Amino acid sequence: MQLVALKAAILAGGAGTRLYPITAYVPKILLPVGNRFVIEYVIEYLKLHGIVEIVMLLSENEFEVVRNQLGDGSRYGIRVEYSVAGRIGTAGALQAAADLLGDRFVVYYGDILTDMDLSAMIRFHESKGSICTLALSTSVPVDYGLARVDSAMRVWYFEEKPVLKEYPISMGIDVMNRDVTSYCKPNTDIASDVIPRLLQERKPVYGYLTGTRHYDIGTFKTLEEVRMRMEKNHQLF
């Protein structure tokens, strides 16, 4: 595996409302899964792909408790820096951290667990001359049953929680060039505001397709699913 020397910006400053009331006391990235905290899986994953410098994007609410756990990162064999801002959206947080990042970096949503080949994604980003590359999974089932009806509203197709490979799912992992931060403004969102703007301006935005799925542990349902899967497979991540 080719190692790459990039920094990773880890978005971890959200309120975690879907896991309330737990997240009123513990940030999502410090929730235990198996025998580790979520952030420890993320750190090991990034290290596997040669990323040993991370910038934690936090709000004032969780800064102290996260810093108390991670410190300068030396206990994990990495270097950790902190960017602290109000809850000003994912794009606002990225803009606030721009001076800590290089010309090219990984943006990682802190509540995501996966074993996707990040090194291959970074090489893909470079080969395409992309300004922003999105990790897109073709293996994530939708949460609901899907139906199709004819003109008389008679159902002719139904499938419970299908995987729609023609509509790959964003995994919450992006590779970006520094130019993207100029599109990031306070109180805006990367997915809802920045990426659509890049597309409107016909900037080179690419999708890295992978058959590997990811788990968003931001809900009780997925958190429990991951815990159950890890009981059966301790090497899941």
Residue 187: give the domain boundaries. 7-135+170-232
Bridge partners of 113, per DSSP, are 215
Residue 207, domain member (yes or no): yes
Among 172, 179, 199, 200, which residue's Cα sits nearest to residue 95? 179
Among 87, 60, 69, which residue's Cα sits nearest to residue 30? 69
pTM of the model: 0.88
Radius of gyration for the alpha carbons in the chain, expressed in angstroms and rounded: 18
Residue 215, domain member (yes or no): yes
The confidence score (pLDDT) of residue 2 equals 47
The confidence score (pLDDT) of residue 112 equals 93
- Tell me the C-alpha distance between 160 and 82, whole Å: 43
Q: Where do the DSSP E strands lie in 178-218?
A: 205-210, 214-216
Continuous H helices in 49-162: 60-70, 89-96, 118-128
Torsion sign (Cα): 17, 19, 22, 25: negative
Which three-class secondary structure state does DSSP give residue 72?
coil
Residue 140, domain member (yes or no): no
The confidence score (pLDDT) of residue 34 equals 81
Q: What confidence tens digit (pLDDT) does each residue in 185-222 have?
A: 999 999 999 999 999 999 999 999 999 989 888 777 78
The confidence score (pLDDT) of residue 143 equals 84
- Tell me the C-alpha distance between 230 and 35, whole Å: 10
Residue 43, domain member (yes or no): yes
Rounded to 5 degrees, φ, ψ at 169 are: -100, 135
Residue 151, domain member (yes or no): no
- Tell me the C-alpha distance between 153 and 49, whole Å: 50
Residue 185, domain member (yes or no): yes
The confidence score (pLDDT) of residue 131 equals 98
Count CB atoms within 10 A of the CB of residue 64: 11
Query: What is the DSSP track for 90-104?
Result: HHHHHHHTGGGS-SE
Bridge partners of 7, per DSSP, are 53, 105
The total of structural domains in the chain comes to: 1
CATH of the domain at 92: 3.90.550.10
Among 190, 205, 177, 11, which residue's Cα sits nearest to residue 91? 190
Q: What stretches in the chain show pLDDT beneath 70?
A: 1-4, 15-25, 233-237
Residue 50, domain member (yes or no): yes
- Provide, rounded to the nearest whole percent, the portion of the chain with pLDDT above 90: 69
Residue 129, domain member (yes or no): yes
Torsion sign (Cα): 120, 121, 122, 125: positive
